Structure 1
Amino acid sequence: MFSKLKTRYIAYIVVVFVLLTTLIVQLYSLNIRHAEEYTSQVSTNNEKTVSVKGARGSIMDKNGVLLAYDVSSYDVQFYKDPAENASSDRAFYTDVIQKTIELIESKGGEIIDTFMIRRGEDGTFSYDIDDSITGEARENRINNWCENMQISKVKDAEGNSVYPDPENIYYDLRTRYRIPESMAYEDAVKLLSIWQEVQLMTYRSYIPVTIAYNVNFETVSEIETRANELKGMQIEESSTRVYPKKTVAAHIVGYMGRMVSEEEIEEKEAQGYSQDDLVGKVGIEATMEEYLTGNSKEHQGKKVLEVDSAGTVVRQVSYTPPTPGNKVVLTIDYQLQELLERTLAENIQTVYAEQQDMYNNADPEQRKEYDEILAKRSTKTINYVQSGACIVMEVKTGKVLALVSSPSYDPNLFTGGISEEDFKMLNEDPAKPLFNNAISSVSTPGSIFKLCTALAGLMEEEITLTGPKGIINDEGPYTKHLQEGATIVGHIPSCWTKYPQNHAHNQDVVAALKNSCNYYFYEVAYRLGNDRLNEWADKLGLTSKTGIELTGEVAGRVGNKNVLYDPSKDIDDQVTYKPLLVYNKLVGQLRDYGTERGVTYTDDQVKAAATRIMQTAGEKGLVIGKEIRQILSEELDIPENVSSSRGWSNEIVNTVREVVWTDNDTIVQGIGSEPTQLSPIAVARYLCAIVNGGKVFQPHIVEKIVDNEGNVVKTFEPTVVTDLQIPEEYTNAIMEGMDQVVSAEDGTASQAFGNFKYRDILAGKTGTGVVSDIDIEDNVWLCLVAPKDDPEIAVVCFLPHGFSDSKAYPTAKAAIQYYFDQKNAPAETEPQASPEGGLLE
């Protein structure tokens, strides 16, 4: 028996020994051989990577003067321990947040304002979503927000599961985050903005949320001093965008703001941005975003954080610094830009005062005429000059040396988010300081368009430099396009000077340009026809965007049949306002006819008849009484004999005549009349092409992109869109006419430049665009090139409602004098840009 027990005991000991040996081997394998592997896995499972964004690149002028750059700043961030989710924890954190808000605001700082729900002035609650986001996109944004905020659905009247209305959500969230009932809405919404950001970051709870940007050092010191009391609050070094030159070049540089549209957010997030990152909204900040940004993946650094199972950060494992964005070097000369902005603003103020004096002190007959015109229109006051533009461009490259729009604004107002008061002030200013007059406005050009008409006539051989075909006799009123014996209706085109005393006869193109003879260019336009005149305007770039690297550019247009009225488009989609005016007048007439007959027409009936009449007129070029009578019969059940006997068909023909293109419209396009509308930037490019032999450039306002180490990333070389190859003799003839505008004793601009330092090297063309029956409201254009023997720069000045071309001379003179004074000055050592945006000696 004992022998059997002994045998079993030995076997038991052997089994235990084998098991212990196996266990030791496994433990050795786990702790020694695979220690590094398992340690790596454990570390990886508890490590989170946080992207670190780089600073934004700077913007500077051609000489290195800083126009925009980032400076170090401090943000206040809030980190909530993700393990602390009890109601008591939320009450504790709400108290901490409230104390921090009071601290920040007492030191002059501002709290983020991002809460999705807003209470209006009438006390109703709604979602704070940009009006441009509508339909399904709007619904998706609301649903996503509610889901992320963990809003519970409720049953509506039909039993469907829906999210509560905004007011109920607001009060539910106040309860969830233990916000005292006694707290005012204005204070509660600040707390809710911060809690919203925390909730939306739940999936990345190890990342703090920013609750205040760019706080002062006093705020930083107090938050750090009260660290034990203000649990979760911390200071993070950041950067703030600074525009050191304030209003100078604001329309060029632009400003930054938050992303709004779903498409933009999605696009930028794919590039590495976060939804709350700022991006360029207008100007160079917007168009050069891809180069300036430090937010994209290629510029990002990273922090590797170790977090525990609850998501709490334990320590920082590693740090890779980001790289800053690239620098953008512009073609503009800051000193020239600043000079012209100052001069143009003074110029506008002077003209404004002169116009007021002209109206207030007009002789009784003139004043009566003005007041009668004002009484008949919706705008009861004179449109005095309030704004303007000036562009200086290199003739042989298309580089922009200055691009001025007045009035300007301070882009620093937008840093960190513009206040409602400031935005309202800018938006409601009648002079529209946010609007870039240099590239976003189009207006009637007047006589500066005669350069296009002259070139088109020469290139199409409708006029010549020598021989009978090159001479046109000014006969005063232009009636050549009228059929013999035709009844003259309305205004007959004629020259701008008194006939025949002040008219020059037997003019060639040089004399016609010098005298700005309307009759001459009526005749050239008539010979060309509207299609060929439009074709040359297109070739010279007047009817297309130039492609300059700025936001908000609009294309001009030259009058033609479809510009006046396009029957293939709805009345609300027409290029000009005139078709709508004619349509509304026509609708009123048709209603009156129904009243006379004792019939009440529906809106659909009247609109159908008016639309059909206008489309018929537009398609056929005009309508006759028979066609009108037939439409009235079919659409409004008016017998044809009734509309004929009462003269209604003739009245309608006279009404729709205004949207029917005629030869009369063609000839007045030769002098740049309505509906021709051009932008200053397109005029500058066109002027360069006229005098450089036909090279139509894409204007550039960016010179190059430079990385943080000084390497050139990209250079913006002169870009020729098309080369018209204008014969030299044509260019010389046009230049001679422009020369005499300035130099000849009776040239249209000769008196203004009589004692000017650089008069002898100038050539130019003036223009007055008629925009109403009140001459004080006329547009002013002035085009200059210099030196006339071999043009280097073109200067274009534009004063909407500036009255007379002579009013723009001070700004143009300032541009010319600066350029040639600098060119003729002794060579100096090139200055270096200082960090503050000035110049170092």
Structure 2
Amino acid sequence: MFEKLKHRYIACLSIIFVIFSLMAIRLYRLVAAGEQSSSQSSRQASVSVTGKRGAIYDANNVLLAYDQESYEVTFYRDPANNASSDRANYTKILLEAIEIIEGNGDSIIDTFLIVKDEEGNFAYDISEELSEETRKERISSWCANMQLADDTMEPEDIYYDLRSRFRIPEELDYEQARKLLSIWQEVQMNMYQSYVKVTIAENVSLETVYELETHADALTGIEIAESYTRYYPKQDIAAHVIGYLGRIVDNTELEEKKALGYTAEDLVGKVGIEATMESYLSGCINERQGKRTYSLNKAGSIVKQTGYEAPTQGDSVVLTLDIGLQEVTEEALAANVQRIRSEQEQEYAENKDKYDKLLEARSVKELSLANVGAAIVMEVDTGNVLALASYPSYDLNLFTGGISDEDYRTLLDQEGSPLFNNAISSTSTPGSIFKMATAVAGLMEGEITVNSTIVDTGPYDKYVKEGSDAPACWIKPYYSSHGRQNVVAALKNSCNYFFFEVADRLGIERLTNWVGKLGLTSKTNIQLTGEAVGWIGGPSILYDSSLPIDQQKTYKPLLVYNKLKTQLEEFGRERDVIYTEDQLSTAALELIKLVELQKLSIGPEIREVLSNTLDIPANVSRQRGWTSEIMSTLIELIWTNTDTATQGIGATPTQLTPIAIARYLCAISNGGKVYDANIIDKVVDANGNVVMESEPSLVEDLQLPKAYSKAIMEGMEQVVSWENRGTAGSAFAGFKYQNILAGKTGTAPISNIDLEDNVWFCLVAPKDDPEIAVVIFVPNGLSDCKVYDTAKAIITYYFDQKGEQADISCGEGDLFY
């Protein structure tokens, strides 16, 4: 019996074995067929992964800007699900995600191109500054991406059409619908890469992350991704140096950046170091990008991730800036400007009738009071910038992730224009801080020696007719107190007359040449955006025939042009003739061109222009005195010897930038070496390797004789000396570092109201072996004595720090030995 059972058992096992063998063969064939089918229907796609942006450090390795890890919310619309019902479902999911995100205080992207104003009108959110052609191109491209057949549709019609297409519930208002349309717009913009997830919220909180993950099963397509957010730990300190990031909005720039590896969604440096060092800092360029590879099915849907290559981060930039000194400089400057403003308002209130009469007599009725300022600290022997402050400032973190329209409008409307860099972008009349340049030019050209003397005899009326106003020294009417001056005394006393005479001896061409050599009228090449270039007054500055009348260096040509048109119109009335606007404009421009003759007697030429353009007979112009009237207007644009003399004291129309003044002050102090301004110390890669290191860039070596440098420095030393009764001597009496200082004051009148005077102050220290040059500038700052507190704060911090470092060094030495 057992033998039978044994045989049956063996037979059953054999049958089972055969069945399983057949099943295995079948399974193998099915798998092989499936794999073959899969290989035929799937494809690979890769998505670039951006590297971390490099950091920005000060000279002492204090972090000023860096990428901190954050979370963003992404949305993936499966391209296989494109039916109307699918879009409705996705919109429902997005609404739920938006509710969670905003419920935790986070924000949804706001990029939809169509906006609705307060009156209910729809329009494209495209800058009006762009040309009509560019605007049309952008609209056409956007409509194509949004799959709109007719790009001539009204924005309102497009808005409602898209609401319908993406199944946005009718009960949602515009603001709610706009958020959904912003997300759908981003999806449409990536139609050609349907496997790319779009970011719908950036830098979200952990609460948002947790809640979205908790509801992940219900929120198909919504995912959390790790990302980076730019952070500026010092907030508004050094904002004008560091800069911020923003989207690429210019089509030409976008195409250039795409060739390097950027996408339209990437952030780039817009201003400051973030902009100028973009190629080093960025993690978006091709060679630093990583890659994430996906397997896609026939419909283009992601099946799975099949590969990942990590990106490399951008290089970090180390600045020459000392953030401690920067903070002291900014705080002192801000307090200084605010104090000046308060004193000006008090002065105006106490003398209101006096100032109101002066305001009433001029075309500009509003009083300009102090509300901005700049301060720069530069190394004398390198051009390295240790501090560069512009007041007012702004919090760079406002721009992180994109600044809101409300915040941006607030910045634009704020008094003092905080986004403007006063240290490098403003130009203004320098006043007496220019006098060292005149001294250098006079000495180097042999028009004076260090022992030459000039007597201050009062008004400089050498070229002025009797009875007419002549430029004079600020000490008017006590000219005898200056008397005979050499270059040292002239700098100490800031004697205008001395420098009038030196400039006159030089002539405007030679003075202009030396001003250029000292680096005042060219770019300093500091590695920041928006540097302006100054100029010294001269015939071509007063009127440049190569420029349109409304693009001249100064406002005078336009004023003269308008005044001439008014005069000519009145001439027509007297003759019962009505001239057209074109006739008046043509005649005025032709008259202004006569300025190029640089003559004070151009009567025949004036009458010829009036005859040719307005058909006014020459004898009529002469008899009615119209020639003289025109000449009295044109003389405003004719350069005179007196104008040349006044340039010797930095008077209008000379305009210079604070950063150029800092470079010039360094050259005065170091024997004539003119350096480019520099704010970059080095660039290091992620491994700490130095990939770029800055060296001092010598532009020109003027090789000033030691005797000349000594005389100029001695004059500047006496400016801040109480014993020598310098113009700033009393302010620095008792100051602990007074004995190592050399400086120059500068008050530049820009109107007939003294409250509006520009204020400059320059310092060099130590005077015997200069290390730093300090420049402080407050437009409409009342008086140079008002900015001494900022100068003292800078000097105190710098030399106190040096003292502490010396003490530390000595301590370390004692321990070592």
2:614 to 636, 651, 662: 636
CA distance in 1, matches of 2:416, 2:540: 31
| Distance apart, 1:207 and its partner CA | 0.9
| Distance apart, 1:672 and its partner CA | 0.2
1:104 to 93, 101, 106: 101
Match of 1:411 in 2: 396
Conserved 8 A contact 1:741-1:763: yes
Query: Which secondary structure state, in structure 2, belongs to the residue aligned with residue 214 of structure 1?
Result: coil
Residue 364 of structure 2 is aligned to residue 375 of structure 1? no
Conserved 8 A contact 1:587-1:607: yes
1:87 to 80, 84, 89: 84
| Distance apart, 1:714 and its partner CA | 0.5
Task: Summarize the alignment of residues 418-457 of structure 1 with structure 2, pairs less than 5 Å apart.
Answer: 418-457=403-442
1:779 to 734, 758, 762: 758
Task: Summarize the alignment of residues 567-586 of structure 1 with structure 2, pairs less than 5 Å apart.
Answer: 567-586=545-564
| Distance apart, 1:627 and its partner CA | 2.2
User: What do residues 438-480 of structure 1 show as CA deviations (whole Å, max 9, x unaligned)?
Assistant: 11111110000000000000111111123xxx12111111122
Task: Give the % identical residues.
Answer: 57
Match of 1:747 in 2: 726
CA distance in 2, matches of 1:786, 1:537: 23
CA distance in 1, matches of 2:84, 2:467: 84
| Distance apart, 1:343 and its partner CA | 1.0
| Distance apart, 1:165 and its partner CA | 2.6
| Distance apart, 1:347 and its partner CA | 1.0
CA distance in 2, matches of 1:431, 1:221: 43
Structure 1: stretches of 5+ with no match in the other structure: 1-30, 154-161, 831-841
Residue 321 of structure 2 is aligned to residue 332 of structure 1? yes
CA distance in 2, matches of 1:673, 1:124: 51
Match of 1:56 in 2: 53
CA distance in 2, matches of 1:602, 1:826: 74
CA distance in 2, matches of 1:654, 1:729: 46
Whichever residue aligns with residue 137 of structure 1, its letter is T
Q: 1:756 to 1:184 in 2, by over 3 A?
A: same
Whichever residue aligns with residue 300 of structure 2, its letter is G
1:260 to 216, 226, 249: 249
| Distance apart, 1:644 and its partner CA | 2.1
CA distance in 2, matches of 1:622, 1:181: 76
Conserved 8 A contact 1:146-1:163: no
Match of 1:811 in 2: 790
| Distance apart, 1:58 and its partner CA | 0.9
Query: Which secondary structure state, in structure 1, belongs to the residue aligned with residue 608 of structure 2?
Result: helix
CA distance in 2, matches of 1:382, 1:692: 40
1:390 to 372, 375, 389: 375
CA distance in 2, matches of 1:621, 1:120: 57
2:136 to 134, 139, 149: 139
Match of 1:478 in 2: 460
Match of 1:27 in 2: none
1:725 to 696, 699, 703: 703
1:323 to 289, 312, 337: 312
| Distance apart, 1:826 and its partner CA | 4.4
Q: 1:784 to 1:565 in 2, by over 3 A?
A: same
Deviates more, 1:275-284 or 1:623-632: 623-632
Conserved 8 A contact 2:42-2:296: no
CA distance in 1, matches of 2:502, 2:36: 88
Runs of 4+ in 1 over 4 A off after TM superposition: 38-41, 826-830
Match of 2:182 in 1: 193
Task: Summarize the alignment of residues 496-575 of structure 1 with structure 2, pairs less than 5 Å apart.
Answer: 496-500=474-478, 502-575=480-553
Query: Which secondary structure state, in structure 2, belongs to the residue aligned with residue 529 of structure 1?
Result: helix
Match of 2:449 in 1: 464
Conserved 8 A contact 1:525-1:670: yes
Whichever residue aligns with residue 758 of structure 1, its letter is Y
| Distance apart, 1:43 and its partner CA | 8.6
Query: Which secondary structure state, in structure 2, belongs to the residue aligned with residue 104 of structure 1?
Result: helix
Structure 2: stretches of 5+ with no match in the other structure: 1-27, 810-817
Residue 218 of structure 2 is aligned to residue 229 of structure 1? yes
Conserved 8 A contact 1:616-1:622: no
| Distance apart, 1:164 and its partner CA | 2.0
Match of 1:797 in 2: 776
Whichever residue aligns with residue 716 of structure 2, its letter is M
Work out the number of aligned pairs and report it. 779
User: What do residues 469-493 of structure 1 show as CA deviations (whole Å, max 9, x unaligned)?
Assistant: x1211111112235xxxx3475301
Match of 1:833 in 2: none
Residue 75 of structure 2 is aligned to residue 78 of structure 1? yes
CA distance in 2, matches of 1:829, 1:735: 32
Residue 571 of structure 2 is aligned to residue 593 of structure 1? yes
Query: Which secondary structure state, in structure 1, belongs to the residue aligned with residue 662 of structure 2?
Result: helix
Match of 2:471 in 1: 493
Query: Which secondary structure state, in structure 2, belongs to the residue aligned with residue 584 of structure 1?
Result: helix
Q: 1:128 to 1:216 in 2, by over 3 A?
A: same
| Distance apart, 1:503 and its partner CA | 3.0
| Distance apart, 1:378 and its partner CA | 4.2
CA distance in 2, matches of 1:266, 1:304: 25
CA distance in 2, matches of 1:111, 1:490: 69
User: What do residues 404-459 of structure 1 show as CA deviations (whole Å, max 9, x unaligned)?
Assistant: 11111101011111122211111111211111111111111000000000000011
Query: Which secondary structure state, in structure 1, belongs to the residue aligned with residue 736 of structure 2?
Result: coil
Q: With structure 2 as the length reference, what TM-score do the two structures score?
A: 0.93
User: What do residues 771-795 of structure 1 show as CA deviations (whole Å, max 9, x unaligned)?
Assistant: 1100111011111101111101101
Query: Which secondary structure state, in structure 1, belongs to the residue aligned with residue 485 of structure 2?
Result: coil
| Distance apart, 1:619 and its partner CA | 3.6
Conserved 8 A contact 1:616-1:623: no
User: What do residues 62-90 of structure 1 show as CA deviations (whole Å, max 9, x unaligned)?
Assistant: 11111111111111100011001111111
CA distance in 1, matches of 2:130, 2:105: 34
Task: Summarize the alignment of residues 645-664 of structure 1 with structure 2, pairs less than 5 Å apart.
Answer: 645-664=623-642
Conserved 8 A contact 2:719-2:742: yes
Query: Which secondary structure state, in structure 1, belongs to the residue aligned with residue 610 of structure 2?
Result: helix
Match of 2:66 in 1: 69
Deviates more, 1:237-246 or 1:615-624: 615-624
1:121 to 110, 118, 123: 118
Query: Which secondary structure state, in structure 1, belongs to the residue aligned with residue 769 of structure 2?
Result: coil
Query: Which secondary structure state, in structure 1, belongs to the residue aligned with residue 454 of structure 2?
Result: coil
| Distance apart, 1:757 and its partner CA | 0.4
Deviates more, 1:635-644 or 1:671-680: 635-644
Deviates more, 1:680-689 or 1:586-595: 586-595
